[in-house]
Amino acid sequence: MRVTSALACLALCCSSAALAGVTEPPRWLAAAAGNQTPAAASGAPALVLWDEAEVTVDTSGRITTVERYALRVLTPEGRKEAEAHKYYPADTAKVNELQGWLISPSGRVRVLGKDHVTDREPGDAFYEQARVRSLNASQECGEGWIFGYESSIEERSVFTQLVWEFQWRLPVIESRYVLHLPAGWEAKAALLNHAPVAPSVSGNRYEIAAQ
């Protein structure tokens, strides 16, 4: 099932996480790794344990999106899911950080360094400023391993609609979208291919979660 959330706001920034120098998985990844594989995931190549986007908007029209993602490889074929690709327009956006981790079935943790990251022009790009930063650990893990990453992207946009996919090809245990707006701003949410879900609102913080 594919579910998409679009949050429209008056203008479009986020405090980015301090990722540099991290030598062990963050709390969210350690917590995600504790989730058991449900029977419903049987037959899937991998299981998404955690998928979160936290977006902060400022009054200057700048958006910073921090994404946190973790999956468990369930089959040998699922190794190819242990990668991340962040597409961005180089003239209006930049990737501040892309940090990854691997956790073996025995619990051994490995931090994925810069040698696992590439930044290039997509081969099929129609826009000359398009770039993609990738993190690939598919050749270094196997069945039962956990792959996780945290990214931070800063951009400026004239668009006032943000889109998030709660689920795509793989089964998901938990997915959430969090939006922080400046004082006095508002957002409206619309879900596609899913029953309506009202966001949880606290001040200028909006959150939609799906399990």
- Cα gap 107→123, rounded to integer Å: 37
Neighbours of 13 (CB within 10 A): 21
Between the CA of residue 52 and those of 122, 149, 210, what are the distances in Å?
A: 25, 11, 10
Q: Is the pLDDT of residue 40 over 90?
A: yes
Mean pLDDT, the chain, integer: 85
Q: Is the pLDDT of residue 11 over 60?
A: no
- DSSP 8-class letter at 108: -
Residue 23: exposure state from Cβ atoms within 10 A (0-12, 13-18, ≥19): exposed
What per-residue confidence (pLDDT) applies to 126?
57
pLDDT-derived band at 48 (thresholds 50, 70, 90) equals very high
> Around 44, how many Cα atoms within 13 Å sit in the side-chain half-sphere?
20
Q: Is the pLDDT of residue 41 over 90?
A: yes
Of 20, 56, 85, 7, nearest in space to 155 by CA: 56
Structure token digits, residue 41: 């995931």
List, for residues 77-98, the tens digit of each pLDDT value: 999 999 999 999 888 899 999 9
Q: Is the pLDDT of residue 24 over 90?
A: no
Region 48-53: what's the mean pLDDT? 96
Q: Is the pLDDT of residue 49 over 70?
A: yes
Structure token digits, residue 205: 């913080």
Region 57-61: what's the mean pLDDT? 87
List, for residues 185-205, the tens digit of each pLDDT value: 888 887 777 777 788 999 999
Q: Which CATH number fits domain 3-210: 3.60.150.10, 2.40.10.340, 2.60.40.3140, 3.30.70.1350?
A: 2.60.40.3140
pLDDT-derived band at 10 (thresholds 50, 70, 90) equals very low
Region 7-30: what's the mean pLDDT? 53
List, for residues 118-161, the tens digit of each pLDDT value: 999 887 655 667 899 999 999 999 999 999 999 999 998 766 77
What per-residue confidence (pLDDT) applies to 125?
53
Residue 112 β-bridge partners:
100
